[in-house]
Structure formats: C-alpha cells, structure tokens
Amino acid sequence: MQKITFYTKESYSVKNNALELVEKLNFNYAQKKHVLNLKKAALLTIDAQNYFFNAASTAFIASSPQIITSIKQLQNFFLANNILCLQTKHIDDANGKMQNWWGRSILDDEIVSSLQNTGITIIKKRSYDAFWQTSLKNILKAHGITQIIIVGVCTHLCCETTARAAFIQGFDVFIVLDAVCAHNKNINNNSIINLAHGFVAPILLSDIYAKK
C-alpha cells in the first residue's frame, strides 16, 4: 500500500478534500439520510494515538497532523455544550489477530497530548470495531444516545468498521469529512463513498457548528 501525505498545508487542505467529497456525494449528502440532533448525539474520536499521529512511529499516518485541529475544536465544542465525548484507544492482545495480520502490535500507547481531556471517556478496544467486547454500547445507551459522530483514523479500518457496526446496532451514524484520514487520498475517499451508500451520513464541521 502506498502511503502519501495528501493533506498538506501547502498544496491540498482537509477542507478542500471534504468539499470535493460533498460534490461526489451530491445525492447522498443533499438527501441527509439522518438529521443531526446534538441532543441525542455523541462524538466518538477513533484512535487519535501517538502510534498513528507521531512521525517517528512505523504506523504514522502522514496526513493525520492536519486533522488534529479539527478534532480538538470539535471536542471543545461538544464539551462546552455538555455533549458526550468519547475516545477509543487501540491496545492489541500480544500474539493476537492484529499481530498476525500486521506483524506488529500496539501494546502500550496513549492519546496524543493535545487531545487528552479528563472530561472525555476512553474506550479501550482490541479490534477495528469499537463495539466489540467493549463498554461502548452500554455507555451510549445509558446517556440516551441514538446518534454517533465519528472522527479520527484510519478512515477505512477502525472508523469504517465502527461506523458499520454502529449502524447495524441501530444508531444514526455521521462521519465528519474534514476530521478523518487514512494513508492516502484514494483509500480515504473510497471508504467514505462506500459508507455513504448505505451506512453513514457524511457531514462537514460547519454542519455541526450550525446546530448550536
């Protein structure tokens, strides 16, 4: 798989790619399969960990630093409005399925420092699906949540798998086009296009702030 920095300050912004996707998804996006209701929503940040966001890591996602500001702003917005914020932290089982597939494991890792907040609940997971053998569904139900807003990495792996699982379990799912990324533009955008066909409503940061 080719890894490319497709979000850069100099040549191609997160916002530009998000707007490009809106144009490609004109029917699904305009149709608004789900209407966002922040009173019933929770922000779920997927795997914003040093393992993926630190340039020194072998699993570094080169475009990931460009979405940190978007995620930080969303977290602050949600917390300021007393809306539930959750983060996942991926920690593998030693010699488990992830080790067999990737040839390495995430055994000790933290959320990037700029996104850490004591007001945010952390869900530890061991698979792509944030619902699998975790307390996520119980927490959402306990807070009366029916809608999940997904941001983070990787778009085509943990974000996509969790989005599909959430839909199957009865949640309205939104993915924020300008707050997710993957290893290259094609993987990122193709994942979102596939999800938008039957699982999620793609939205922009501006859509969320307009609901305030």
In this predicted model, what pLDDT tens digit does every residue of 40-99 receive, in sequence order? 999 999 999 999 999 999 899 999 999 999 999 999 999 999 999 999 999 877 767 777
User: Is residue 5 included in any domain, yes or no?
Assistant: no
| Contact by Cβ (8 Å): 153, 183 | no
Q: Which helix (H) or strand (E) holds 3?
A: none
Instruction: Output the pLDDT for position 22.
Output: 84
| Contact by Cβ (8 Å): 89, 125 | yes
Give the count of domains, the chain: 1
Among 1-5, 11-15, 78-82, the minimum mean pLDDT is found in 1-5
| Contact by Cβ (8 Å): 71, 84 | no
CATH number at residue 44: 3.40.50.850
Instruction: Output the pLDDT for position 115.
Output: 98
Confidence of residue 9 (pLDDT cuts 50, 70, 90): low
Confidence of residue 100 (pLDDT cuts 50, 70, 90): confident
User: Is residue 158 included in any domain, yes or no?
Assistant: yes
Which neighbouring-strand residues pair with 86? Answer: 44, 121
User: Is residue 1 included in any domain, yes or no?
Assistant: no
Instruction: Output the pLDDT for position 79.
Output: 97
User: Is residue 9 included in any domain, yes or no?
Assistant: no
Instruction: Output the pLDDT for position 123.
Output: 98
CB burial of 110-136 (b: ≥16 within 10 Å; e: otherwise) equals ebbeebeeeebeebebbbbbbbeebeb
Report the distance separating Cα 172 and Cα 176, nearest Å. Answer: 13
Does the pLDDT value for residue 27 go beyond 60? no
User: Is residue 175 included in any domain, yes or no?
Assistant: yes
Among 6-20, 68-82, 104-118, 161-175, the minimum mean pLDDT is found in 6-20
pTM recorded for the entire structure:
0.90
Domain span including residue 158: 14-209
Q: Find the angle CA(51)-CA(54)-CA(60) to the nearest 5 degrees.
A: 65
Instruction: Output the pLDDT for position 13.
Output: 78
User: Is residue 146 included in any domain, yes or no?
Assistant: yes
Averaged pLDDT, 112-141: 97
Residue 89 in tokens: 């932290």
Mean pLDDT of the chain: 90
Averaged pLDDT, 20-27: 79
User: Is residue 139 included in any domain, yes or no?
Assistant: yes
Confidence of residue 189 (pLDDT cuts 50, 70, 90): very high
User: Is residue 196 included in any domain, yes or no?
Assistant: yes
